[in-house]
Amino acid sequence: MKIYLKILIVLNLWLFVGCNGNHLINNKEYLAIIDKSFTEREHLAKNRKEKIFSVFNKKLTTDQRDALKFLYAFMPLSDLADYDGEFFLANVNMSLRVREEAA
In this prediction, residue 39 carries a pLDDT of 96
Q: Are 92 and 70 in contact (CB under 8 A)?
A: no
Average pLDDT for residues 42-49, to the nearest whole number?
Answer: 93
Tell me: the pLDDT tens digits for 48-91? Answer: 999 999 999 999 999 999 999 999 999 999 998 999 999 999 99
- What is this structure's pTM? 0.76
Distance CA 44, CA 80 (A): 9
Long-range contacts of 55-59 (CB under 8 A, 24+ apart): 55/84, 55/85, 55/86, 55/88, 55/89, 56/85, 58/89
Q: What are the structural domain ranges in the chain?
A: 2-102
Q: Is the pLDDT of residue 42 over 70?
A: yes
